[in-house]
A = this chain, B = another copy of it.
Amino acid sequence: MVQRGRRSARVSGDERQDAILVTAEALLASRAFDDVSIEDLARGAGISRPTFYFYFPSKDAVLLALLDRVITEVEHRVGHLPRDFESDPAGAWTRSIGMFVEVFVSHRAVSTAAIGARARNDEVRGLWSRSMQSWVDFSSDVIRAEQARGAAPAGIDAHDLAVSLNLMNERVITAALNRESPAIAETAALDVLSTIWIRSIYGSDNPGGR
């Protein structure tokens, strides 16, 4: 997906490339992206700084490659999300949001770095937006369907609602992961977010009430 510095894929070269990615992910776990230099990545992969440029055109490209794997996973997961919201809407939403939370938590270093780089780098922004878009498309499809079958009240545009709720998830989860202030506890996130989604989609706590 992401462009590399050579034509064919040989063994030793790929190992180096991988070593850079592994190093990057490891370093990002303990410090911010800005505080990791190309020198650090190169040293971690056992090469010199100029050699780094043989594998990646920039530090951002490394982040992009890491993000790329996360995005692929997200799109795969979202594609397999069940859409049977008729029988247990509240549960179904909670499970979907749970998957969103899970992706963030299991890739917290990359997520945090990507969100920081988004403002600066077009490609990161594009890639990130692709992944958010897949969540938004899923949710707005479902909301529209729920409104169509009369389970959810109209009075709000399904797309706008889906975008807002997904952006809320993004922000609330990053705040929790980074222990910002204000933020909510990581453990409370799923519960609180689900409640807001359900109330604002259905106008009630207990849609399709048992």
Q: Which residues of A contact B (CB under 8 A)?
A: 32, 34, 112, 115-116, 119-120, 125, 129, 132-133, 136, 153, 155-157, 159-161, 163-168, 170-172, 175, 180-185, 188, 192-193, 195-196, 199-200, 203-205
Contacts and interface: CB of A to CB of B under 8 A. Distances in A.
Copies in the complex: 2
Contacts of A200: 195-196, 199-200
Contacts of A125: 180
A193 B127 CA distance: 26
A192 B133 contact: no
Given A116-B119, A171-B171, A182 B163 contact: yes
B164 A184 contact: yes
Given A116-B119, A133-B182, A164 B196 contact: yes
A153 B160 CA distance: 25
A104 B184 CA distance: 23
Given A157-B188, A168-B171, A171-B171, 12 more contacts: A125-B180, A129-B180, A132-B182, A160-B184, A160-B188, A161-B195, A163-B175, A164-B184, A167-B182, A168-B172, A170-B171, A196-B196
A171 B170 CA distance: 8
A118 to B, nearest CB: 8
Contacts of A157: 188, 192
A63 B136 CA distance: 33
